[in-house]
Amino acid sequence: MSARLSHLNDKGEARMVDVSAKDVTSRVAVAEGFVAMAAETLDLILAGSAEKGDVLATARIAGIMAAKRTSELIPLCHPLPLTQVTVDFEPRRDPVGIRVQALTKVDGKTGVEMEALTAVSIACLTIYDMCKAVDRAMSFSGIRLLEKSGGRSGDFKAEMYTAGR
């Protein structure tokens, strides 16, 4: 099987993929990531005691806003009329941190994987920004696509997720 990058033309030049002939289908993508942190930082976040305010509420809004602006951030991405974006958090004690998960939906001609991944990435960055004064050692890992459905390429489901494990 010969794989070809869809964002390159025959000369190897970058291009935006022409999706005009594709059918509109319902598409869903789910992505995840993990923010590792000190136990005291997690306690601060969960208690709502961060100096900058409600960390998770702010990170949720940032992730949703980022998904909506993905085409402005990632070259060659199509702007999409998203029908749903959710960003959820799962605090963990072993290892210590917060698992971030985003779900994106659209009825369109191209997928929403980049929107889900962008939502997770920006939510993780927002957690860091809001807590860096108390924990500059926070780190991110496992940002990846968990699943996607819809479109010509079919469905995808990742192996058991490992972010934060």
Quick: pLDDT tens for 51-62: 999 999 999 999
Helix (H/G/I), strand (E/B), else coil: 103: strand
Query: What is the rounded distance in angstroms from the CA atom of residue 59 to the CA atom of residue 119?
Result: 9
Could you confirm whether 129 is annotated as catalytic? yes
Domains located in the chain, CATH noted: 34-150 (3.30.70.640)
Which is catalytic among the residues 43, 107, 129, 155?
129
53 class by beta-carbon count within 10 Å (0-12 exposed, 13-18 middle, 19+ buried): exposed
Quick: pLDDT tens for 94-152: 999 999 999 999 999 999 999 999 999 999 999 999 999 999 999 999 999 999 999 88
CA angle 127, 60, 78 (to 5 degrees): 110
pLDDT at 165: 47
pLDDT at 8: 74
